[in-house]
Amino acid sequence: MEYRIEHDSMGEVKVPADKYWAAQTERSHENFLIGVGIETMPREITHAFGILKKAAAIANHKLKPEKMTDQKLAAISAACDEVISGQLNDHFPLVVWQTGSGTQSNMNANEVIANRGNEIAGEKLLHPNDDINMSQSSNDTFPTAMHISAVLAIEDKVFPAIDTLVETFKRLEAENEGIVKSGRTHLQDATPIKFSQEISGWRSSLEKDRKMLEIALPELKELALGGTAVGTGLNAPKGFDVEVAKAVSELTGKQFVTAPNKFHALTSKDEIVFAHGALKALAADMMKIANDVRWLASGPRDGLGEIFIPENEPGSSIMPGKVNPTQCEAVTMVAVQVMGNDVAVGMAASQGNFELNVFMPVCIYNFLQSARLLSEAIVSFNKNCAVGIKANREKMHHNLHNSLMLVTALNPYIGYENAAKTAKKAYKEGISLKEACVSLGFLTEEKFDEVFHPEQMV
């Protein structure tokens, strides 16, 4: 491998000749051999740095045109566009397990954009610190990247996934409107419910999860940029924070604003914790929905078997013909991961000491993993399972009319205790509720038929 020599305040460093990063990135690359190639800083953060560095250059050009010249702005913008597009991902090698402020990832962005910008300009025009990091600090850029990436993940990935599954459930509600089945509570038979009503519970859960995420978004759209090192805004021109938030908004098409209190923005991660709580709520509901689906589809002969789901792949290496609810299992594993991530996010956010939180990389790593896993799992579940759910009408009808809890309909006519006696007799002797009720002398056959209509109990 060929190398070139780069330098920083600590001296000279050998850097791979084909990479745009420089000395500080290389030092981190060599000093933190933890999770290399596996737990790289999320690409969503790389993308967000491209956005915020371009926005900073635009704001500096407006407020400090003598330093951020037209030529510099053009070179930085072009390089940042390549970062945003993902073209330069190979030049961002650093892992999550680095400095807790994300300083080295900020410098990684500064160095790559400076070197690529110089290449575009055809001259040594840009300096990583003086130009790319102008009016900024790692302490306000990394929190800003966290918020930008979190907003993009929720609005551009999680919301579309939720919306798609909600539409599927709406269709299934309409298709199954007239079907009545046995309800279940405590995993035991309960009073009847329409299958469409059961599905509506799934849909409504997702819609509420979406609303909770919407509530979290305004706080995430507040940016720390402009606070610089400790929240005072040292070395940033007056109005920089407002202008850079405007530029980020224009670049993303989303309405970001400057954080009203930069001291809070640098040290507290409560907005991330709150938003991840909504992701955890979504995970909990997806766990419930996936479990419902696999229970209802259990069988094919010895389980509940009330619905059919798509058969996607063989389910056993030893049992021929076995097919398993694998999409449901994937969703439930993702839900467990998200719930674990919530602990990590909360613990990381609790470690804000004085003017800075130094657990930011692990905090956003877990947040973005949760958003990514949930969105992809929901899309997969919808495409490979939910869209193909079909009611097993015969099994539903059988289970409904075999349920002892239909006796609840008799409460107004024979009372709770007599109804309980009826159910217990029917279960013990293996006879119908009608036979048990009549034999106990609580109702005549004619009166039983008059008042007993399971389909009307929904």
pTM: 0.96
**Close Cβ partners of 398 (under 8 Å, ≥ 6 residues apart):** none
169-176: long-range pairs with CB below 8 Å, 24+: 169/199, 169/200, 169/202, 169/203, 169/206, 169/386, 170/203, 172/196, 172/199, 172/386, 172/389, 173/199, 173/200, 173/203, 176/391
Residue 452's pLDDT band (boundaries 50, 70, 90)?
Answer: very high
* Cα–Cα dist 49/88, whole Å: 12
- Quick one: tokens of 177? 């409107």
Q: Would you call 28 a catalytic residue per the annotation?
A: no
Residue 1's pLDDT band (boundaries 50, 70, 90)?
Answer: confident
Phi (first) and psi of residue 309, to 5 degrees: -120, 160
> What is the separation of C-alpha 183 from the centre of its chain, rounded to a whole number of angstroms?
31
Phi (first) and psi of residue 430, to 5 degrees: 65, 35
Q: Would you call 47 a catalytic residue per the annotation?
A: no
What is the pLDDT, as a whole number, of residue 363? 98
Q: For all residues of the chain together, what is the average pLDDT? A: 97
Pairing of strands 222-223, 257-258: parallel
What is the pLDDT, as a whole number, of residue 255? 98
pLDDT in tens, 229-256: 999 999 999 999 999 999 999 999 999 9
* Cα–Cα dist 276/209, whole Å: 11
| Secondary structure element (H or E) that encloses residue 184, with its range | strand 180-185
| Mean pLDDT (whole number) for 397-407 | 95
What is the pLDDT, as a whole number, of residue 332? 98
CB 40 within 8 A of CB 144: no
The answer to whether residue 119 scores a pLDDT higher than 90 is yes
| Mean pLDDT (whole number) for 117-123 | 98
What is the pLDDT, as a whole number, of residue 113? 98
- Percent of the chain surpassing pLDDT 70: 100
Does the annotation place 101 within a ligand binding site?
yes
| Mean pLDDT (whole number) for 30-43 | 96
The answer to whether residue 107 scores a pLDDT higher than 90 is yes
The answer to whether residue 41 scores a pLDDT higher than 90 is yes
- Quick one: tokens of 92? 């961002």
| Mean pLDDT (whole number) for 117-132 | 98
- Quick one: tokens of 421? 């006696």
Does the annotation place 388 within a ligand binding site?
no
CB 369 within 8 A of CB 43: no
DSSP for 22-71, please give it. -HHHHHHHHH--SSTTTSBPPHHHHHHHHHHHHHHHHHHHHH-TTTS-HH
The answer to whether residue 263 scores a pLDDT higher than 90 is yes
| Mean pLDDT (whole number) for 189-208 | 98
| Secondary structure element (H or E) that encloses residue 222, with its range | strand 222-223
| Mean pLDDT (whole number) for 442-457 | 94
**Interior angle at CA 314, CA 312 and CA 315, nearest 5:** 105
Phi (first) and psi of residue 21, to 5 degrees: -70, 165
pLDDT in tens, 53-66: 999 999 999 999 99
What is the pLDDT, as a whole number, of residue 141? 98
Does the annotation place 412 within a ligand binding site?
no
Phi (first) and psi of residue 358, to 5 degrees: -120, 35
Does the annotation place 323 within a ligand binding site?
yes
- At 214 the three-state DSSP class reads helix
Does the annotation place 322 within a ligand binding site?
yes
CB 266 within 8 A of CB 231: yes
- At 188 the three-state DSSP class reads strand
The answer to whether residue 370 scores a pLDDT higher than 90 is yes
What is the pLDDT, as a whole number, of residue 365? 98
Neighbours of 420 (CB within 10 A): 13
Residue of 85, 204, 316, 350 marked active site = 316
Can you tell me which residue has the tokens 């300096």? 127
What is the pLDDT, as a whole number, of residue 162? 99
Phi (first) and psi of residue 407, to 5 degrees: -60, -20
DSSP letter (8 states) at residue 306: -
The answer to whether residue 151 scores a pLDDT higher than 90 is yes
- Quick one: tokens of 458? 């929904």
- Quick one: tokens of 74? 């053009």
Residues facing 178 on adjacent strands:
none
Does the annotation place 138 within a ligand binding site?
yes
Can you tell me which residue has the tokens 């094919």? 300
- Quick one: tokens of 369? 């993993």
